[in-house]
């Protein structure tokens, strides 16, 4: 089953303690799509400027990503500049230029309007809404957002939440959205805003899922070296949703497996700058790390609790 994603396609300037890249291909929709494409077909709904390099478009096309709804407009592509702290769970946004996204009116193709799986990647909630309204009867809608939108367009975001099945946010965004410092209370408060399920991404500490039935947590895959955490959240979402779309059934159990696949995909993207690691990743590497991950989290608890 294919996924439609709306989000940013960007040129990112990123500084970490391990180096710097200038105007590298990025954006929430790009990371999501490249991650999800390992599992299922994906189409991107977004806009780029006249400066968007044909070789960057080719990189996405070469992965088999459907770019029919990637519009090109006169002007500059979206740009983001971020700097990570020594503690890579923390970063500052130094510059954010919406450029051609200002005034963008997404228009889905007839087959995209009939999609079953929709991901509203991090972009203005009004654009997320414009895409959501065009999709006829999606089986699963997941969405992401960011501090910037929680602060600048809170009302638009709140209106959208009851129409989202799975919301993914990081811990800082969860606290900001809920106005609550304790993560469990924040999780409960966000569920009360409408999403059926909430995934709070906690960087190197992993992910906690909240639903009305309870909570579950998965650690991050431990890595010796992180080069650039940019896009980890979007790539996580790509792996998670890609697995669900491929599997076809959404149950508590498939959601847990999906969260593990999401975590596996996120663990790769941070190993290099930009999308570099995802571009040379193979399915065999994903499979090997998935097995290592399962081994890591399996406590063999049942062996000790029988009788």
State the residues that interact with ligand AMP by CB under 6 A.
8, 10, 12, 26-28, 80, 96, 122-123, 146, 148, 230-234
Residue 306, number of CB atoms within 10 A of its CB: 5
Closest CB 96 distance from ligand AMP, rounded Å: 6
Q: Which two tokens stand for residue 71?
A: 């519009």
| Residue linked to tokens 């890591």 | 296
197: CB partners within 8 A, 6+ apart: 165, 166, 167, 209, 210, 211, 255
Q: How far apart are CA 86 and CA 66, in angstroms?
A: 37
Q: Which two tokens stand for residue 76?
A: 């500059």
Residue 280, number of CB atoms within 10 A of its CB: 9
- Dihedral angle of Cα 154, 166, 289, 91, to the nearest 10 degrees: 10
Query: Nearest-5° angle of CA 250, CA 301, CA 246?
Result: 20
Q: Which two tokens stand for residue 108?
A: 């889905």
Q: Which two tokens stand for residue 225?
A: 């070296």
């Amino acid at each position: 089953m294919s996924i439609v994603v709306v989000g940013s396609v960007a040129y990112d300037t990123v500084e970490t303690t391990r180096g710097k890249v200038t105007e590298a291909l990025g954006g929430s929709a790009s990371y999501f799509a490249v991650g999800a494409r390992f599992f299922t077909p994906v189409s991107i709904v977004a806009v780029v400027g006249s400066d968007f390099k044909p070789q960057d478009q080719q990189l996405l096309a070469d992965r088999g990503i459907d770019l029919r709804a990637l519009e090109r407009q006169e002007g500059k592509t979206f740009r983001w500049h971020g700097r990570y702290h020594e503690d890579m769970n923390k970063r500052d946004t130094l510059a954010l230029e919406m450029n051609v996204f200002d005034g963008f009116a997404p228009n889905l193709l007839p087959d995209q309007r009939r999609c079953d799986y929709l991901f509203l990647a991090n972009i203005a909630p009004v654009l997320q809404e414009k895409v959501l309204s065009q999709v006829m009867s999606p089986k699963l809608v997941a969405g992401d957002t960011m501090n910037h939108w929680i602060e600048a367009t809170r009302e638009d975001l709140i209106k959208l939440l009851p129409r989202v099945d799975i919301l993914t946010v990081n811990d800082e965004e969860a606290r900001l959205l809920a106005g609550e410092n304790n993560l469990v209370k924040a999780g409960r408060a966000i569920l009360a805003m409408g999403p059926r399920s909430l995934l709070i991404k906690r960087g190197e500490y992993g992910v906690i899922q909240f639903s009305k039935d309870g909570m579950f947590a998965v650690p991050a895959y431990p890595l010796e070296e992180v080069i650039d955490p940019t896009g980890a959240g979007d790539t996580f979402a790509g792996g998670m949703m890609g697995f669900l779309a491929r599997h076809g059934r959404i149950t508590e159990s498939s959601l847990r497996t999906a969260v593990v696949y999401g975590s596996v995909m996120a663990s790769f993207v941070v190993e290099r700058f930009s999308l570099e690691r995802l571009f040379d990743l193979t399915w065999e590497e994903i499979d090997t790390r998935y097995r290592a991950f399962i081994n890591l989290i399996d406590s063999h608890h049942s062996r000790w609790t029988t009788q």
